[in-house]
Amino acid sequence: MTNSCLVAKLSHYINLTATECVLLARLEEATEHYSRRDIVLDQGAETSDIYVVKTGWLYGHVRNSDGVDLIAEIFYPGDLVGLSQLAFETSTVCYTAATDLALCPFPKNSLKTIFIEQPRLVALFFAFTTLERATMIDRLRAMGQMSARDCVGLFFLQTKARLSITGLATGRWFPMPLSQELIGNAVGLSTVSVNRAIRQLEAEGHIRREGRMLEIMRPEILGRELEFFDRHYKVDSSWFPNLD
């Protein structure tokens, strides 16, 4: 078997054919390394490449004129970075390494043949974008009408769910390498409010921290309270094109 992260993630959803595996593995031939805080692609730069995340986290963010930063998306191993910028010649967001990072770049022109020859993979990619959109709606709901505590709690539940797909969350523990400032940028809160929310969740016995690891004590209870639904566990593939 291949040790491709992308294959690992996709296999969670459908049984990949050997042809598909080979083709996907080819996207991960080159590898680039980045250190935490490195900028992978700056806002306004040309979006000629797509990246597969091999190890580490990175995030896409936009800075507005008052200097406030908003994290638009966070990527984990197995994710495809840059699909959301396909329609733009220059990037609308800045990609920054959240941890030390290994990325596999491939030119976005490689998608041409995939679109023609691998309609089922395209359908799966398409499905992913809809999952991400649903998650983004959850974020909108959180930012618009939930308390700071609930925003942060929901963010942790979402993160854990995403990591679980590729087996990066073991049991109730998962890594949380983002600083409280970055968490704030992700959920639209100030550092101070994030800190107070975390301490409150901790005091209530919902979470526990141990270095950069986080434990959600009773995921089901917290999830029910915050109306969290794991959008990433399963996709409906009934409309996927059949294999030839």
Q: Quick one: CA dihedral 132, 112, 105, 244, positive or negative? A: positive
| Binding test (CB under 7 A) with DNA, winner from 104, 165, 189, 222 | 189
The nearer residue to a second copy, 8 or 123, going by C-beta atoms, is 123
CA dist 88 and 99 (Å) reads 26
Binders of a second copy among 110-169, rule CB under 8 A? Answer: 111-113, 115-116, 119-120, 122-123, 125-134, 136-137, 139-141, 143-145
CA dist 79 and 128 (Å) reads 10
- Which range binds a second copy by CB under 8 A, 1-9, 79-87, 196-204, 211-219? 79-87
User: What angle do helix axes 119-145 and 18-26 make, rounded to 10 degrees?
Assistant: 60
Residues 124/131, Cβ–Cβ less than 8 Å:
no
* Beta-bridge partners for 94: 61
Which 3 state secondary structure label does DSSP give 73?
strand
Nearest distance, CB of residue 164 and DNA, angstroms: 22
CA dist 96 and 88 (Å) reads 19
Binders of a second copy among 3-62, rule CB under 8 A? Answer: 47, 62
Nearest distance, CB of residue 221 and DNA, angstroms: 20
Residues 183/194, Cβ–Cβ less than 8 Å:
yes
Nearest distance, CB of residue 218 and DNA, angstroms: 21
Nearest distance, CB of residue 196 and DNA, angstroms: 6
Rounded to whole angstroms, what are the CA distances from 178 to 24, 118, 193, 209? 29, 36, 15, 13
Nearest distance, CB of residue 178 and DNA, angstroms: 8
CA dist 2 and 225 (Å) reads 40
Q: How many residues bind DNA (CB under 7 A)?
A: 17
According to the binding rule CB under 8 A, does residue 193 interact with a second copy?
Answer: no
Interface residues with DNA (CB under 7 A)? 147-149, 179-181, 188-193, 195-196, 198-199, 211
**Binding footprint of a second copy on the chain (CB under 8 A):** 47, 62, 64-66, 68, 70, 72, 83-89, 92-93, 108-109, 111-113, 115-116, 119-120, 122-123, 125-134, 136-137, 139-141, 143-145, 187-188, 227, 229, 231, 235-236, 238-242
